[in-house]
Chain A
Amino acid sequence: MASDYNDIEEPITTAPPEVEKIIREVIRVEKENLHSDRPRVKADILQIIKDAVK
């Protein structure tokens, strides 16, 4: 059963480096803000994309 879960994150781990970076950063920001709903999250995410793809 456990092996079935191994590929859950596979779409992330097989992503091109810049896409993987975006995903990891976005998830980190979302986790940090999970308990609140701050408008600045949107700006942070746009910035993450711009930083990852230059």
Chain B
Amino acid sequence: MKLVSMKLFNFRQFWGEVEINLAGQPGRSVTVIHGNNGAGKTTLLNAFTWVLYGQHTGAFASPEQHINKRAIAQTASGKRVDCWVEVVFEHNSNRYRARRSCYIEKSHSGELPIEQGGELALQINGKLVQPPEVPEDKVGQVLPESLHRYFFFDGERIDRIVKSENKSEISKAIRTLLSVEVLDRAINHLKEAYRSLNKELAELGDPETKRLVKEKEDLIEEKAQLEAGREEIASELEAFEEQKQKVTAQLRDLDKVGQIQERRDDLKRQEEEIQAQLDRSEDKLRRTISARGYMVFLTDAIAQFRNLADELRQRGELPAGIKQQFVEDLLEDGACICGTQLEQGTKARKQVESWLDRSGIQQVEEAVIQMGGEVNSIERQIPEFWAEVEQEQASIENLRRHLSTLENQLDDIREQLKGSEDVNVSGLEKRLEEIEDRIIDLHREDENVARDIEECEGEIGDLNKQIKDLKAKSKQQALIQRQMKATDDAIDRLTQVRSRVDSKFRVVLEQKVREIFRQVSFKTQVPKLTENYELVLVENLTDGESIAAPSTGENQILSLSFIGSIIERVRYWSKKHSLIGLDSSSFPIVMDSPFGTLDENYRRQIAKLIPMLADQLVVLATKTQWRGEVETEMEPYIDKEYVLVFNSAKPDCEPEAIVLNGETYPLVRQSPNEFEWTEVVEVERR
């Protein structure tokens, strides 16, 4: 599409008829239209979109009102006020004249009636497009309506086209521009046609053919269901993978807190263990004291016992020396061991009898011996008892110290954990494990379904063969079968082309967007065209790619890089691939308020690039937007230049002017009457 000229009649700010011719020569294809805010720049952008598509851009206020107010005011009541916009453009050596018009019948009450009309009239090479042909269809074939927003746009809002909420629109636009949309539609429609032919064949065929065709249809349906199931599995898998990433990230974030908590739990366990040991030691000490503690109080009693025993020894009463029984035996025998007779009343017998008294001490002696042994044992046990008590006390002391250290450490941890929530790391880990198990299950399930699909395909193939093998009973059957075979072949070939387009065009377009984006942006982020043809900015991190959250400026650059790349690539492909490529190989860009809010460097880079990429460029700019760097970069490409002169009815209006090529042109001037309107003045270029 190459824009040639635009005419406006009573359209919004433009009173009467004005004409703008647009630059379009190779190398000098830029038209600049200068105007203050409110002078009609956005109106001119909308004049294009209204004529061609009946659409308005977002910034266009009161879109239901097109007719110039001065024209309405100066028309007598009951008379008709017309308004129209006409755009002339060329496409594939044909000249198109598109005019959209509307009107009102001015009422006597002074109330503004609703506008009538609004239809598009289109002439191609001077011939009016008439029913059953539809003018909108003809314009759509030149530049599809779904794509127009990428070529007629408001620079301040250009960032919106790549925002995530619009990703399906841009995906569709890319698919259309890369011919993927045409191929997909062709494949789907051919598949539908194939089914229709199959049905016709079933209706015509013999019972056996009918049975096989029915069986095949059932299998095709089963396969479609299995494929749908697989898609569900894929989306479930995607959701689980996403959850897995989230939980992993959460775990990573919580790892530090988790480690501290683990340490806390360990210390608590130690504390409980030490406390139990301490309880055991104290109990043992208590039991030792209660069982053997009395011993230490026996020292005096032992000394007393020893004195008594010593005294008995000193008196010679101990040891007893002779046993009582022995003395009694001597007396009974009446003879001493020395042979002396022990007759009654003899001195010898009396002496022996005196030993009877002395021998009575024997029991005392036995008691002393037994007691002496016990006393010795007690004396031996006393130091052992003390040693045991001391050892236990030392152990208790040690355990208490340990316990106190643990309590201090736990206090420190409590302080560290203050403010952080109690993290259920193990819960999260369990969840992660569950997710991973589910992912494995889903992969397994997917493999099973894929196998089922493969089996289905095998059976369908067999049936196809059987159906083919059946001798066609009529010429009609044979013909339908040939038609089906040709359709199947066409589907197969188009699918191959689709796959080639997908693998080559997408990659090359992505490279081009990246190349342009890199020339302009200083950031490390790079544009990426996903498999679903969505345009995103990604940054390369050590653990893979991550989708970046771009600023408005970055989105503006991304959008402009995308538009520039699309124009450049589609131009190339359309020439190279005349069959599948779009009919349009050249695209204009009409840009209101160029470069939005970009800073100087970005403005310069974009201003340098766009005229080289676009086949034709119309820039609508204020004095500020057309400053230094933009003017410098675009100047060599400018062929046409206009100023929108606003006639202000404000009594104290401050006139404003712009100097272009050494000449001063008014931007705002005092209106000679009570009306406000805009005139278009062409700048003389030397």
Contact = CB atoms under 8 A, between A and B. Distances in A.
Same complex for A and B? Answer yes
A42 B181 contact: no
A31 B189 contact: no
Contact of A7 (B141, B493, B500): B500
Interface string B490-504: 101110110011001
Interface string A1-40: 1101111110110011011001110110011111110000
Contacts of B483: 49-50, 53
A34 B181 contact: yes
Contact of B193 (A5, A23, A42, A54): A42
B380 to A, nearest CB: 105
Nearest to A38: B137
Interface in B454-492: 479, 482-483, 486-487, 489-490, 492
B146 A35 contact: yes
B192 A27 contact: no
A12 B486 CA distance: 12
Contacts of B185: 30, 33-34, 41
A23 B190 CA distance: 9
Contact of B580 (A15, A27, A35, A49): A27
Nearest to B511: A1
Given A35-B145, A36-B137, A30 B189 contact: yes
Contact of B583 (A15, A19, A31): A31
A36 B140 contact: yes
Contacts of B486: 16, 18-19, 22, 49, 52-53
B120 to A, nearest CB: 13
A19 B482 contact: no
B479 A8 contact: no
Interface-centre pick from A2, A27, A31 (highest chain B CB count, 10 A): A31
A2 B182 CA distance: 22
Nearest to B493: A11
Contacts of B140: 34-36
A20 B176 CA distance: 22
A49 B193 CA distance: 8
Contact of B489 (A15, A30, A31): A15
A22 B497 CA distance: 15
Interface residues of B, number: 42
Contact of B141 (A9, A32, A42, A52): A32
Contact of B479 (A9, A22, A54): A54
Contact of A49 (B141, B197, B582): B197
A5 to B, nearest CB: 6
B186 interface: yes
B315 interface: no
Q: Is the interface of B mostly helix, strand, loop or mixed?
A: helix
B319 interface: no
A9 B580 CA distance: 8
Contacts of B183: 27
B487 A22 contact: yes
Nearest to B481: A53
Contacts of B664: none
A2 B272 CA distance: 77
A30 B186 contact: yes
B186 A26 contact: yes
A8 B497 contact: yes
Contacts of A46: 193, 196-197
A8 B141 contact: no
A19 to B, nearest CB: 5
Nearest to A54: B479
Given A30-B182, A35-B140, A35-B141, A23 B490 contact: yes
A35 B137 contact: yes
Contacts of B141: 31-32, 34-35
B468 to A, nearest CB: 16
B577 interface: yes
Contacts of B137: 32, 35-36
A30 B492 CA distance: 17
Contacts of B493: 11-12, 15, 19, 23
A34 B136 CA distance: 12
Interface string B216-247: 00000000000000000000000000000000
A1 B147 CA distance: 28
B16 interface: no
Nearest to B176: A34
A18 B144 CA distance: 30
Interface-centre pick from A8, A18, A46 (highest chain B CB count, 10 A): A8
B523 interface: no
Contacts of B496: 11
Contacts of B573: 5
B193 A27 contact: no
B181 A15 contact: no
Interface in B564-591: 573, 576-577, 579-580, 582-583
A4 B500 CA distance: 10
16 contacts: A4-B504, A5-B577, A6-B576, A9-B497, A9-B579, A19-B489, A23-B494, A24-B579, A30-B182, A32-B141, A41-B189, A45-B190, A45-B193, A49-B190, A53-B482, A53-B486
Q: 8 tightest CB-CB pairs across the interface, nearest first?
A: A35-B140, A11-B493, A35-B144, A11-B496, A53-B483, A46-B193, A45-B189, A8-B500
Given A16-B489, A49-B197, 9 more contacts: A5-B576, A7-B500, A11-B497, A24-B579, A26-B490, A34-B144, A45-B190, A46-B196, A53-B483
